[in-house]
Amino acid sequence: MYSLSRTIAVSLCLASWACTGPSNMDQSATSPAKDIHSYANTAEVRVTHVALNLDVDFSRRSLVGTATLELDGSAAAVILDTRDLEIFAAETSPDGETFAPTEFQLGASDPIFGAPLTVSLTPGTSHVRVRYATSPQASGLQWLEPAQTAGGKDPYLFSQSQAIHARSWIPLQDTPSVRAPYSAVIRTPPALVAVMSASNHPEAPRTGEYRFEMPQAITSYLIALAVGDIAFQQMSERTGVYAEPSVVEAAADEFADTEKMMQAVESMFGPYRWGRYDILVLPPSFPFGGMENPRLTFATPTLIAGDRSLVGVIAHELAHSWSGNLVTNATWPDFWLNEGFTVYLENRIQEVVFGPDRAAMEASLEVTGLHEEMATLPEKDQILHVDLTGRDPDDGFTQVPYVKGMLLLRTLEAVVGRERWDPFLRGYFDHFAFQSITTADFLAYLEANLPEAANAVDLNEWTEKPGLPSGAVVPQSDVLTRVDEASQVWLAGQNPASAIPLKSWSTQETLHFLSTMPVDLSVERMAELDAAFGLTGAQNAEIISRWLLESVKRGYMPAYARLEPFLTSVGRRKFLDPLYTALAATPDGKKLALQIYAKARAGYHPIAQTTVDKILADVSDDD
């Protein structure tokens, strides 16, 4: 039943790991997908259910308990992904009821991939149970002091599993090519509430024990947990907001269009298949704008601008309920299938809910961002189907999978028109629902079902080559063209700054105006803008971060007073990365960056710390 050669292959694979990286021949639902970022021997055994039973220990900053994995397949051992986990015991069971101890071995730890946990199986094993504790440094968890929350009284914990951080809080097959339902029992201090990417019960009394079910098969990077003083406010029959009590009302108002957004996607691309759609607003150290945890999007509080102008991020995370959570990238080089499709859908949602002008502005801003970033990227990172061999999949987090991916879909759409494109896309979601697929799977489906579009563009150039193909259909925004005109008049000295209609502009117009100011704009002219519009006092997080960035680039000192308060209060990587990078470009700026970072670092999420550590270390190497 257990082939010796397989066992040997597993051992060799572990022994030679240092030079080859984790490797296995994986079998996704549709085609073989080799996940180079997981140690799991998924060709032999696959996890079919995950059951968690965890105590949340704030004093030790540790989750302690068990993960019980149901297995399909047979092998001498199951290899799980872990990072910084303390393993107390492993057990096997033939029925999920009675467990007996088994041998296990924790391999050497790699800084990017963590350590393989090899658990010996006996014939007839259907379940494996691992007793473990997480490290206070777990890369996928952030433990917050009460002072880092809005309420200031209770501690807070949240997870962020994408891309390969689930392994730092759960021993499992941490690969998006494997899908499984999960359940969980989470014990917390009695004053606090736990929520997960699963069935949540807003009215549940605060008993300190919470039970969750995610009956649909999802991938490991979508398992999510948050614990804190969390309240709930309903928005529509099936949407609501979770947040700290002092934030929940503003959040519910900001995101009031969520139901309309859901209906917009449903009318175009098929039903929402996950039951409820709720949003959890996290404390400000949350390192992303949003994270599409199924049934419970995690969001940064910096979206709460008071005017609903930043809810494009909600449209984006909601869209992942189709592109990403329903049809999922099988490996991280296929990440553009998640994000490119999602940026495309996000824009279609905005078009329906906020109108074509707003949608065109957002798309056009995204393309500006792509060009900006592409100019700084080596050619290998300008490729949609990116090679991440030996690299952290978080390195693939650039505008390329997002915006170049979106442009490919727009270009295909333009070939056949929406009458044919929309049903194709809807068919794609139905066909691959609850499956993990590769770039090749998508291309084969496109060639089979929309050959006219497939033949009209050079798909190989799009997915395998750097740069932007010349035939790319790029969005145009008339509204932003008018902003350019107003900008030109001011730059030419024909008007004072006060004549710029900035006060009547949307956030998107203002962002476009600020991000297209000429590099050599003088600090006097920056001061003129600031005096007219109070930009240094801006409250909108996108606007203030853009203004600070442009100020640092040009050494406009009056804005610097805002740098430290901003960088020590917000941990969203999108804001930190450009600001620290711009500061680090000059010796004085770098000095200031290091000073601020010394105060800010402890409050940042491990993922953000890694990003900023790298920025400031790279620069000191050049000194």
Residues with a catalytic annotation lie at 317, 402
> DSSP class of residue 28?
-
Q: Among ligand BES, Zn ion, none, what does residue 313 contact (CB within 5–8 Å per kind)?
A: ligand BES
CA distance 257 to 235: 9
> Which residue of 47, 138, 291, 345 would you call a contact of ligand BES, by CB under 6 A?
291
Q: Among Zn ion, ligand BES, none, what does residue 288 contact (CB within 5–8 Å per kind)?
A: ligand BES
**Residue placing its CB nearer to ligand BES in the complex, 510 or 611:** 611
Q: Give CA angle at 157 (153, 163), nearest 5°.
A: 155
**Residue placing its CB nearer to ligand BES in the complex, 104 or 277:** 277
> Which residue of 65, 176, 228, 290 would you call a contact of ligand BES, by CB under 6 A?
290
Closest-CA residue to 143 (of 165, 122, 160, 121): 160
Q: Is 320 in the site for ligand BES (CB under 6 A)?
A: yes
What is the sign of the dihedral through the CA atoms of 404, 516, 577 and 531? negative
CA distance 17 to 9: 12
CA distance 248 to 451: 48
Name the β-bridge partners of 498: none
Q: How far is CA 66 from the centre of its chain?
A: 26
CA distance 42 to 607: 27
CA distance 367 to 400: 10
Q: Among ligand BES, Zn ion, none, what does residue 290 contact (CB within 5–8 Å per kind)?
A: ligand BES
CA distance 265 to 322: 9
> Which residue of 116, 284, 289, 405 would you call a contact of ligand BES, by CB under 6 A?
289
Q: Is residue 337 within 8 Å of residue 442, measured between CB atoms? A: yes
> Which residue of 81, 244, 254, 317 would you call a contact of ligand BES, by CB under 6 A?
317
- The pair of structure tokens assigned to 226 is 């948050």
**Residue placing its CB nearer to ligand BES in the complex, 163 or 548:** 163
**Residue placing its CB nearer to ligand BES in the complex, 272 or 560:** 272
Q: What does R_g of the chain's alpha carbons equal in angstroms?
A: 25
Distances (CA, A) of 140 to 37, 85, 222, 237, 610: 16, 12, 12, 32, 12
* Shortest Å, Cβ 402 to ligand BES: 6
Q: Which residue has the tokens 């000073």?
A: 595
**Residue placing its CB nearer to ligand BES in the complex, 66 or 216:** 216
CA distance 197 to 191: 21
Q: Among Zn ion, ligand BES, none, what does residue 289 contact (CB within 5–8 Å per kind)?
A: ligand BES
* Shortest Å, Cβ 312 to ligand BES: 6
Helices 258-269 and 335-354: crossing angle, nearest 10°? 110
Give the CA count within 13 Å in the CB-facing half-sphere of 602. Answer: 6
CA distance 192 to 295: 20
Q: Is 301 in the site for ligand BES (CB under 6 A)?
A: no
Q: Among Zn ion, ligand BES, none, what does residue 574 contact (CB within 5–8 Å per kind)?
A: ligand BES
Total residues in contact with ligand BES, by rule CB under 6 A: 16
Which of 425-450 are b and which e, b meaning 16 or more Cβ less than 10 Å from the residue's Cβ? beebbeebeebbbbbbbbbebbeeeb
**Residue placing its CB nearer to Zn ion in the complex, 93 or 302:** 302
* Contact flags string 148-187 toward ligand BES, x per CB under 6 A: --------------xx------------------------
CA distance 50 to 157: 21
Range in contact with ligand BES (rule: CB under 6 A) among 8-16, 206-214, 262-270, 313-321: 313-321
Q: Which residue has the tokens 């190989």?
A: 460
- What does the binding site for Zn ion look like in residue numbers (CB under 5 A)? 339, 342
Q: Report the relative pairing of strands 277-281 and 225-228 from DSSP bridges.
A: unpaired
* Shortest Å, Cβ 173 to ligand BES: 18
**Residue placing its CB nearer to ligand BES in the complex, 294 or 589:** 294
Q: Please give the residues from 412 up to 451 whose contact with ligand BES meets the rule CB under 6 A.
A: none
**Residue placing its CB nearer to Zn ion in the complex, 278 or 339:** 339
* Shortest Å, Cβ 612 to ligand BES: 16
Q: Is 288 in the site for ligand BES (CB under 6 A)?
A: yes
**Residue placing its CB nearer to ligand BES in the complex, 242 or 341:** 341
Q: Please give the residues from 240 up to 279 whose contact with ligand BES meets the rule CB under 6 A.
A: none
Q: How many residues does the chain have?
A: 623
Q: Among Zn ion, ligand BES, none, what does residue 291 contact (CB within 5–8 Å per kind)?
A: ligand BES
> Which residue of 257, 292, 509, 550 would you call a contact of ligand BES, by CB under 6 A?
292
Q: Please give the residues from 392 up to 411 whose contact with ligand BES meets the rule CB under 6 A.
A: 394, 397, 402
* Shortest Å, Cβ 366 to ligand BES: 8
CA distance 12 to 364: 50
Range in contact with ligand BES (rule: CB under 6 A) among 51-59, 100-108, 149-157, 285-293: 285-293
Q: Among ligand BES, Zn ion, none, what does residue 480 contact (CB within 5–8 Å per kind)?
A: none
Return the SS3 of 116. Answer: strand
Per CB under 6 A, residues contacting ligand BES are: 162-163, 288-292, 313, 316-317, 320, 339, 394, 397, 402, 574
